[in-house]
Each structure stands twice: as structure tokens, then as C-alpha cells.
Amino acid sequence: MEILRDFVRNIRGNRVLVMVFASMIFAIVLCFTTILRGSGTHLVLLSFFLAFLIALSFSGLVSAEKRRKRELVKLREETGKAVTESSLLFEMGKLLSSKLDLRSCLELLLTSVLKTLGADMGSVMLLDEESGELTIKVAQGLDEKIIRETCLKLGEGIAGWVAKEEEPLLINDVSEDKRFKATVKREGLCSALCVPLKIKGKVIGVLNMGTTCPGEFTPEDLQLLGTLASQAAIVIENARLFGEMERLYFDTIRAFAAAIEAKDPYTHGHSERVATYAVAIAEAMRLGEEEVQNVQAAALLHDIGKIGVGEGILNKVTRLTREEYELVKTHPLVATQIVKHVPLFKDILPSILHHHERYDGDGYLDGLEGERIPLGARILAVADAFEAMTSERPYRKALTPDEALAESRRSSGTQFDPQIVDVFCKIVERGFNGGEGSKPTSFGCGFAPDPYFLSEISLESSGYLV
């Protein structure tokens, strides 16, 4: 009965079964007619004929069932592949749009495509507009030497051809393609997929996939890769634009800092060096990329509030009055009032505002203590103090790095976060000196009169207050 039901379900779409079924009906009718006429010879012949048709019918049914199962398996495979590809496109779109770091975007793209297509090797090449050459930015499955040395002009090799012609390319046996025999240098490459990365009709690079066996890719693979390439090109362009905006952002910050430091020749370059120390601490503490960037920005802007302090006070070599010192102490608040109007700076305001808080609660502006002080501010406090202590001033000589480290250790747990002091001391002891061109004994500093830069020296003994 099950076979008959399958027969009924399949008969409409199968011409062979329709013919067999019609023949069976005809044979049965003929058989009954012969029986009614009483012809024995005809009855025997028709019986054989009917048996033959029945056997043929069941054979057709079995064949149809097998074919139906094969088609079902194929349909399931195609459906599964379609679901996988759709999921990949969705996930790639979601993940790529959430990342603006160019290298991270490219690595994510390459890893996902290699896995989906089952490729053995792949690379993303970007076009340098000035030189007109393609270079590999990220790759998997390729020799490091190939990654470093590959540089293709437009029209050269598979990737160069695709970039020049602005057309995708599927080659199932590279060795048989006369166009690229002499130029393909990737050892072991047999099958290749290559699609252009285009934005606003302009090629910005190519996406390459390869296998070590011929005939591994299909036109459907090429279509999928082209779809991903269109998506990736937009993300790459956005990442580039974000990088340019980020550079402009930090250039603006540096311009702010330089404008303030120009008021005092002794503080020239102070914010840059504090930022270098602060970033080194943040990276050693394994903070995230965004947190490191926020620490850098806060360090570059932490003293911008000194614009509200007169040069006569900033450059004063004699003691400050208490009123002058109270004015100096307002510079973190002034700094936040200046930068709070810039949306990009909102995350760094707490670090700027509290970079003169002390771990024991005796700092300013709010007397915060311990971990209530923002982490960025605690990092700045250590970096800023070390930079100040190793800077020459009209009223005192600079401490050596070893002397400054000793002061930092003595202030650990009182003025500074002990963990941060420990991290920074290890950094400096390993030879870090603030980067190329730094001179530890001639660093600039923030404003000179702040006694909190001088570790545990009291206000009365510092010589800055009356």
C-alpha cells in the first residue's frame, strides 16, 4: 500500500509511470475482453503480457522511489548549504558592522569564508592608490615569505587581472589556464576564486580563495564570494574613514595640548610623554583597545585646563600663595568643562577630572579614594607623577628615573594605586624610557607648583605655599 501511495503521488510528474499505468489499464481491459470471448490462447498471451507490465510497473515505481530519495537528499543538501550561506551573510554583516578596526575586519572575513567554502588558502589584498599595486593585508594558508613579498601590478597574476578587469574569476585548474601559468607563484594552488572589492564603482582590492585540488569551486561559490566581497568593501571603506577620523581626533588633541604647553617652555612635550607612559601601563595591564585609546586621549588632554591659569603662576619660581594654589587646583574641572562639549571626549572626562585624586583619599577635586577613583585617572596619576619628578624645573633639579621610581614605590598605597605602581616599575626596569627620542632627565611636566607631583612631600615643606 505504501508503494501504491508513492506511485499515486509521483505519477503526475513522471511520464514513464503514466505510460506504464496506461498500459496496465489497457492490458487489464484487454484481458477481461479476451476472457469474455473465451479464447484460451489469447488468455495465456495476455497473462504473460500483463505480468510483464506489472513487473515493469513495480520496477518503475522502485526506480522512481530511489530517484525521489536522491532528489530529497540533494534538496536537503542544497537547503542546508543555503541556510549556512544565509547565516554566514547575516553573521558577517552583523559582526563586520560592529568592528571598525581594519585588520580585525579582514581577519574575521577571511576566516569565515575559508570555513564556508572549504578552501585551503585565502587572502585579502588592498590596492595602494599611489603605487597602483596590490599587497596582501591578511592571509591564511600561505607562506610568510609569499605574504611579505607579494606585490602585484594591475593586470599581473590572477588578482591583478581581476582588479584591472573589475570582474570575478573562477579557475578550476590554474595549470591549464595559459593566462596565469607564468605569473602564479603560490605553490600548490590548483583551483582559484577571486573577486574584486569595489566601493562606489571603484576597485579597492581583491578577495582570493584557493585549494590544492582542481575543480573544488562552483559558480554558486563564486556568487557567494561576490556577495561577501560587496559587503566587505563597504566595511573596509568605513574602517578607513574611521581611521582617518581617529587620526584627526588625536591630531586635534595634540594641538590642544601643544597650545597649552607653549605657555611654559619647561612643559614642552609633557602631555605626549605622559600619554606614552600611560599607554604602556594600560597595555601592560591588558586593557582593551578602546580603553587604551581613552587613556591616551585623557593623558593628552589632562592639563588643558591650565589655560585658565595665568602664566605668572605657571612659571612662578617662588612660593605660591594659598589663593594661587587653589586656582591651580581647578585645572581638572576647567579641562572637563572645555572638552565636555565634544561628544568624542565624553568617555575620558572622569579620567581628566580625577587625575589628581590620591589613593588614600587626600587628593582633589572630590577626595575619592581607592578604586572609587576611575582606573584611567589612577593610571594618569602614576604616569604624570613620574614624568614630573624626572623633569627639570627652574626651582629644582630633575630626579633620576631610579630616584623617581623609589618615590613612586614609597607613595604606593597612599598617593598611588599599588597595582599600577608595580606594573609601571616593572615596565621602566625592563628599559622602557618613554619611546624613541625620549630623554628621561629632561622631560617636561605639567604645571610646576603642584605638590602632589612630589610624592609624600607635605604642602608646608614643599616650599610652594605660604
The answer to whether residue 92 is domain-embedded is no
Poorest-pLDDT segment among 43-47, 250-254, 274-278, 284-288: 43-47
Dist. CA 215–CA 320, nearest whole Å: 82
The answer to whether residue 420 is domain-embedded is yes
User: Mind listing the pLDDT tens digit for each residue in 85-122?
Assistant: 445 545 555 555 555 567 777 888 888 888 878 888 99
Greater confidence, 181 or 106? 106
Contact 244, 125 (CB under 8 A): no
Dist. CA 133–CA 154, nearest whole Å: 6
The grid coordinates listed for 134 are 596590490
Dist. CA 235–CA 229, nearest whole Å: 10
| Mean pLDDT over each residue of the chain, to the nearest integer | 76
pLDDT of residue 410: 94
**Residues 117, 22 within the same domain:** no
Q: How far is CA 229 from CA 82, 116, 338, in A?
A: 18, 14, 43
Q: Does the pLDDT at position 163 exceed 80?
A: yes
**Residues 44, 160 within the same domain:** no
Half-sphere exposure of 385 (CA within 13 A, CB side): 34
Contact 127, 134 (CB under 8 A): yes
The answer to whether residue 185 is domain-embedded is yes
DSSP codes joined into one string, 97-153: HH---HHHHHHHHHHHHHHHHT-SEEEEEEEETTTTEEEEEEEESS-HHHHHH-EEE
pLDDT of residue 296: 92
Beta bridge partners, 412, equal 416
Dist. CA 250–CA 386, nearest whole Å: 23
**Residues 308, 387 within the same domain:** yes
Q: Does the pLDDT at position 37 exceed 70?
A: no
Average pLDDT, stretch 273-295? 93
Greater confidence, 219 or 62? 219
Return the CATH number at 156.
3.30.450.40
**Residues 231, 279 within the same domain:** no
User: Mind listing the pLDDT tens digit for each residue in 342-358?
Assistant: 777 889 999 999 999 99
The answer to whether residue 257 is domain-embedded is no
**Residues 289, 191 within the same domain:** no
Q: How many domains does the chain have?
A: 3
Return the CATH number at 275.
1.10.3210.10
Q: Which of 53, 84, 115 is the last residue of a domain?
A: 84
**Residues 273, 405 within the same domain:** yes
The answer to whether residue 147 is domain-embedded is yes
**Residues 307, 451 within the same domain:** yes
**Residues 332, 456 within the same domain:** yes
Q: Which of 60, 84, 108 is the last residue of a domain?
A: 84
Q: Does the pLDDT at position 458 exceed 50?
A: no
Poorest-pLDDT segment among 28-37, 58-67, 295-304, 453-462: 453-462
The answer to whether residue 48 is domain-embedded is yes
Across the beta sheet with 133-140, the strand order is 151-153, 133-140, 121-128, 202-211, 191-199, 169-171
Q: Does the pLDDT at position 141 exceed 60?
A: yes
**Residues 233, 273 within the same domain:** no
**Residues 79, 107 within the same domain:** no
Confidence category of residue 34, pLDDT binned at 50, 70, 90: low
**Residues 42, 127 within the same domain:** no
pLDDT of residue 233: 82
**Residues 323, 363 within the same domain:** yes
Q: Which of 84, 107, 136 is the last residue of a domain?
A: 84
The whole domain housing 342 covers: 262-462
The answer to whether residue 94 is domain-embedded is no
User: Is pTM, for the whole model, over 0.75?
Assistant: no
The answer to whether residue 252 is domain-embedded is no
Q: Does the pLDDT at position 360 exceed 90?
A: yes
